[in-house]
Structure 1
Amino acid sequence: MSNDVIGRSGDADRAEKSVTGASRDRPERAGPRLDRLVFSATAIGALAFVAWGVLDDEGLASAAGTAQKWVITNTGWLFVLVATMFVVFVIWLAASRYGRIPLGADDEKPEFRTVSWIAMMFSAGMGIGLMFWGVAEPLSHFVSPPPHTAAPGSPEAAEVAMATTLFHWTLHPWAIYAVAGLAIAYGTFRKGRSQLISSVFRPLLGRHADGLGGRAIDMMAIFATLFGSAASLGLGALQIGAGLEFNGWIDGIGKIGLVAIISGLTVAFVLSAVSGIERGIQWLSNINMVLALVIAAFVFIAGPTLLVLNMIPTSIGDYAQLLPTMASRTGASDAAMETWLSSWTIFYWAWWISWTPFVGMFIARISRGRTIRQFVAGVLLVPSVVSLLWFAVFGGAGIAEQSADGALTEADGSVDSNFALFHLLDQYPLVGVTTVLVMILVAIFFVSGADAASIVMGTLSERGSIEPSRPIVIFWGAATGAVAAIMLVIADSDNLGGALTGLQAITTVVSLPFLVVMVGMCISLYKDLREDPLILRADRGVELVETAVDLGTEQHDGEFSLVTEPVVVEEEIVVVEKVVERG
Structure 2
Amino acid sequence: MGDVVKDEYQTDYVVGQDNINPLGLDLHAPVFPIAAVLVVLFVVGTLIFPAESKELLDGAKWGAINTFDWFFLISANIFVVVCLALIFMPVGKIRLGGQDAKPEFSTMSWFAMLFAAGMGIGLMFWAVAEPVAYYTDWYGTPLGAEANSEEGARMAMGATMYHWGLHPWAIYAIVALSLAFFAFNKGMPLTIRSAFFPLLRDRVWGWPGHLIDILAVLATIFGLATSLGFGAQQAASGMDYLFGISSGIGVQMTIITGVTLVALLSVLRGLDGGVKVLSNLNMGLAALLLFFIIFAGPTMTIIETLWVTSSTYVANIVPLSNPFGREDETWFHGWTVFYWAWWISWSPFVGMFIARVSKGRTVREFVTAVLIIPTVITVFWMSAFGGSALDQIQNGIGSLAANGLTEVPLAMFQMLENLPLTAITSFIGIVLVLVFFVTSSDSGSLVIDSITAGGKTDAPTAQRVFWVIMEGAIAAALIFGGGADALGAIQATAITAGLPFTLILLAMTWGLLKGLTHERKLLASQGKL
TM-score range, shorter chain: 0.7 to 0.9
TM normalised by structure 2 equals 0.88
Q: Which moved more, 1:471-480 or 1:261-270?
A: 261-270
Farther-moved stretch of structure 1 (94-103 vs 234-243): 94-103
- Relative to structure 1, the CA distance from residue 472 to residue 117 in structure 2 (aligned partners, 3 Å threshold; closer, same or farther) is closer
Q: Which residue of 2 aligns with 1:82?
A: 75
**Which residue of structure 2 lines up, in the alignment, with residue 320 of structure 1?**
314
Q: Does 1:439 align with 2:459?
A: no
Distance 1:454 1:42, change over 3 A: same
| Matching residue within 23, 40, 43 for 1:47 | 40
Equivalent position SS for 2:30: helix
Q: Which moved more, 1:56-65 or 1:371-380?
A: 371-380
Could you tell me how far apart the structure 1 residues matched to 2:467 and 2:113 are? 24
Mapping of residues 375-524 of structure 1, within 5 Å? 375-409=366-400, 413-485=404-476, 504-524=491-511
Q: Does 1:354 align with 2:345?
A: yes
DSSP-derived class of the 2:493 partner: helix
By relative contact order (CA 8 Å, sep 6+), the higher-ranking structure is 2
Deviation at 1:401, TM superposition (A): 0.9
User: Which residue in the other structure is 2:160 paired with?
Assistant: 165
- Cα gap change, 1:67/1:119 in structure 2, threshold over 3 Å: closer, same or farther? closer
Aligned residue type for 2:364:
R
Shift of 1:299: 1.0
Give the corresponding residue for 2:200.
Answer: 205
CA distance in 1: counterparts of 2:496 and 2:316, whole angstroms: 28
Q: Secondary structure at the match of 2:455?
A: coil
Supply the distance in 2 between the matched residues of 1:155 and 1:87 (Cα, whole angstroms).
Answer: 30
C-alpha displacement of 1:113: 5.2
Letter of the aligned partner of 1:509 in structure 2?
Answer: T
Match of 1:63 among 46, 53, 56: 56
- Match in the other structure for 2:358: 367
Question: CA separation of 1:416/1:490 partners in 2, compared to 1, >3 Å: closer, same or farther?
Answer: farther
Q: Does the CA contact (< 8 Å) of 1:234 and 1:503 recur in 2? A: no
Q: 1:322 to 1:540 in 2, by over 3 A?
A: same
Distance 2:231 2:453 in 1: 29
Tell me, yes or no, if the aligned pair for 2:127 and 2:412 is still in contact at 8 Å.
yes
Paired residue for 1:97, among 72, 80, 90? 90
**Contact 2:154 2:309 survives alignment (8 Å):** yes
CA distance in 2, matches of 1:326, 1:333: 9
| Paired position in structure 1 for 2:222 | 227
Task: Output one character per residue of 1:368-417: Cα deviation in whole Å (capped at 9) or x when no partner.
Answer: 33332222222111111111111111111111111111524386533421
Q: 2:170 aligns to what?
A: 175
Aligned residues of 1:203 and 1:524 also touching (Cα < 8 A): yes
The structure-2 alpha-carbon separation of the partners of 1:325 and 1:490, relative to structure 1 and needing over 3 Å to count, comes to farther
Gap runs ≥5 in structure 2: 1-5, 21-25
Secondary structure of the corresponding residue to residue 429 of structure 1? coil
Q: Which moves more between the two structures, 278-287 or 437-446?
A: 278-287
Distance in 2, Cα, partners of 1:487 & 1:350: 22
Q: Give 1:27 shift.
A: 4.8
Report the Cα distance in structure 1 between the residues aligned to 2:119 and 2:7, rounded to whole angstroms.
36
Q: Match of 1:102, SS?
A: coil
Distance in 2 of aligned mates of 1:438 and 1:521: 37
Aligned counterpart, 1:305: 299
Report SS of the residue matched to 1:409.
Answer: helix
Residue matched to 2:277: 283
Look up the match of 2:238: 243
Give the Cα separation in 2 of the matches to 1:261 and 1:108. 41
Gaps of 5+ in 1: 1-19, 542-583
- Deviations 1:50-93 (CA, angstroms, capped at 9, x unpaired): 11122111111111211112111222221111111110122223
Quick check: which has more Rg, 1 or 2?
1
In 1, Cα distance between the equivalents of 2:447 and 2:413?
A: 33
Closer/same/farther in 2, CA of residues 371 and 447 from structure 1, 3 Å limit: closer
TM-score by length of 1: 0.80
Q: Deviations over 1:122-178 (max 9, x none)?
A: 545552111111211122112125255222121111110111111111100110011
Question: How many residue pairs get matched?
Answer: 513
1:25-36 residue pairs with structure 2 within 5 A?
25-28=11-14, 30=17, 32=20, 33-36=26-29
The 3 A distance-change label for structure 1 pair 517 and 205 is same
Verify the 8 A CA contact 1:240 1:442 in the aligned structure 2: yes
- Given residue 513 of structure 1, which amino acid in structure 2 is its aligned partner? P
Q: Is the 8 A contact 1:22 1:106 kept in 2?
A: no
SS of alignment partner, residue 266 of structure 1: helix
Q: Kindly indicate which of the two structures has a greater share of residues assigned to helix.
A: 2
Q: Deviations over 1:510-549 (max 9, x none)?
A: 32222221111112112222322x32575999xxxxxxxx
Q: Specify which of 491, 512, 521 is matched with residue 535 of structure 1.
A: 521
Contact conserved, 1:125 with 1:387, CA < 8 A, in 2?
no
- Give, as a single letter, the amino acid of the residue that structure 1 aligns with 2:506: V
Number of the residue aligned with 2:3: none
Q: CA 1:77–1:406 in structure 2 vs 1: closer, same or farther (change >3 Å)?
A: farther
CA-CA distance at 1:429 after TM superposition:
1.9
8 Å Cα contact 1:35-1:462 kept in structure 2 = yes
- Paired residue secondary structure (2:27): coil
| Counterpart position of 1:3 | none
Task: Confirm whether residue 195 of structure 1 aligns to residue 190 of structure 2.
Answer: yes
Q: Percent identity?
A: 36
Please say if residues 204 and 524 of structure 1, whose CA atoms lie closer than 8 Å, have aligned partners that are also in contact.
Answer: yes
| Residues 270 and 123 of structure 1, relative CA distance in 2, 3 Å threshold | closer
- Structure 1's 406 and 309: CA in aligned 2 closer, same or farther, altered over 3 A? same
After superposition, the Cα gap between the structure-2 partners of 1:500 and 1:462, relative to the gap in structure 1 and judged at 3 Å, is closer
* Partner-residue secondary structure (3-state), 1:166: helix
Q: Distance in 2 between matches of 1:511 and 1:445?
A: 23
**Contact preservation (8 Å) 1:171, 1:380:** yes
